[in-house]
């Protein structure tokens, strides 16, 4: 009995040192990536579903994947905007294969036919997600990459925001990730192959006043992503990769009017969507687990975990982040009032 107890202790000690070594080694590998850029994987011929592809980051993701010869499946609630994205993608395909339009030349087509598919889908409704996913399986086949990008913001103070808008924010920004993942993950598990990307926000890592519904939805999306990542690891499905994208405010017009203290503004400028997506693509194509853009967001997130709440409030006030959303909310309110006045007239 004593011998067995001693053996168990030795096993635990040995395992502890192995785990410690693995943790240290993970730091070494992560540090090494700062000096040696990892090789990007190929997505040529792979099927990529992008939600919210009609505008903003979704459109730029579509363009970047098209340049890498992926087969694109574009989802959006705005049919016209989605078709506009698809037409830009087709133009990219034509530029990469200029001989395709000439019968006299020898066409150097890839082994697959580059295509882009468009689907109307309201990701806030699970029935719409499931039916659209079924169409994709029948018309396109199994997918390889799922980019959960669709997002909305109500732009209202909590007590002024209708319940329907709060629910829609949660449905689009968070719940839709459950529906799309449930629709496509089973085949990924069968093949032990795939990549799921969650486009969240820095406001899913730390918060500010006036956007409670948006912050809650992004916190939820990040929690879902991290739990699913652990579940895939627990199931030894190492062929399915996960990437979490947490950008700072992106200059897509979504938070137009948002301002911090003018002296601090140069340190935290709104991100250009092209830059944001290029950074995210680098993370996706190197199987990076998470990317915050700009890098200073890592420091802000770390400080939030160690500082007392009152210290965070002081820091927010110094930067001007405590009420940075108020100009944006005021603009939204004015715009809503003007639209309502026009409707009455």
Catalytic residues: 214
The answer to whether residues 119 and 73 touch, using CB atoms and an 8 Å cutoff, is yes
Q: What are the C-alpha distances in Å from 228 to residues 5, 47, 178, 223?
A: 36, 21, 10, 9
Structure token pair of residue 34:
């700062």
Report yes or no: 237 and 327 within 8 Å, Cβ to Cβ.
no
Rounded to the nearest 10 degrees, what angle do helices 176-191 and 126-139 cross at? Answer: 30
CA dist list (Å): 98 to 90, 92, 199, 258: 12, 10, 33, 43
Helices and strands, counts by H and E, the chain: 11, 7
Q: Establish whether the linkage from the previous residue to 294 is cis, with ω within 30° of 0.
A: yes
User: How far is 287 from 244, CA to CA, in rounded Å?
Assistant: 10
- Residue 215 C-beta-side C-alpha neighbours within 13 Å: 13
């Amino acid at each position: 009995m004593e011998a067995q107890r001693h053996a168990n202790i030795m096993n635990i000690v040995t395992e502890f040192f192995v785990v410690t070594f693995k943790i240290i080694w993970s730091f070494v590998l992560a540090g090494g990536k700062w000096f040696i850029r990892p090789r990007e994987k190929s997505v040529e011929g792979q099927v990529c579903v992008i939600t919210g592809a009609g505008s903003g980051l979704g459109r730029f993701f579509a363009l970047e994947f098209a340049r890498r010869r992926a087969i694109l499946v574009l989802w959006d609630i705005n049919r016209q905007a989605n078709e506009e994205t698809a037409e830009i993608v087709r133009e990219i395909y034509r530029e990469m294969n200029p001989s395709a339009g000439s019968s006299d030349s020898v066409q150097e087509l890839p082994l697959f036919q580059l295509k882009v598919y468009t689907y109307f889908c309201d990701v806030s409704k699970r029935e719409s997600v499931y039916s659209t996913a079924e169409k994709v399986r029948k018309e396109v086949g199994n997918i390889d990459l799922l980019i959960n990008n669709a997002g909305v913001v109500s732009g209202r103070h909590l007590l002024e925001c209708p319940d329907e808008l709060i629910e829609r924010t949660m449905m689009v920004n968070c719940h839709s990730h459950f529906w799309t993942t449930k629709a496509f993950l089973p085949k990924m598990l069968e093949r032990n192959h795939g990549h799921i990307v969650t486009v969240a926000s820095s406001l899913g890592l730390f918060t500010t006043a006036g956007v409670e519904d948006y912050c809650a939805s992004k916190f939820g999306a990040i929690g879902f992503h991290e739990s699913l990542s652990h579940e895939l690891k627990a199931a030894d499905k190492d062929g399915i990769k996960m990437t979490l994208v947490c950008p700072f405010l992106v200059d897509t017009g979504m938070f137009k009017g948002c301002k911090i203290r003018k002296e601090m503004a140069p340190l935290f400028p709104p991100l250009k969507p092209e830059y944001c997506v290029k950074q995210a693509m680098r993370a996706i194509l190197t199987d990076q687990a998470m990317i915050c853009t700009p890098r200073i967001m890592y420091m802000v997130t770390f400080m939030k975990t160690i500082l007392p709440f009152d210290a965070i409030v002081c820091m927010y006030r110094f930067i001007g982040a405590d009420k940075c959303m108020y100009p944006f909310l005021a603009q939204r309110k004015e715009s809503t009032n003007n639209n309502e006045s026009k409707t009455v007239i």
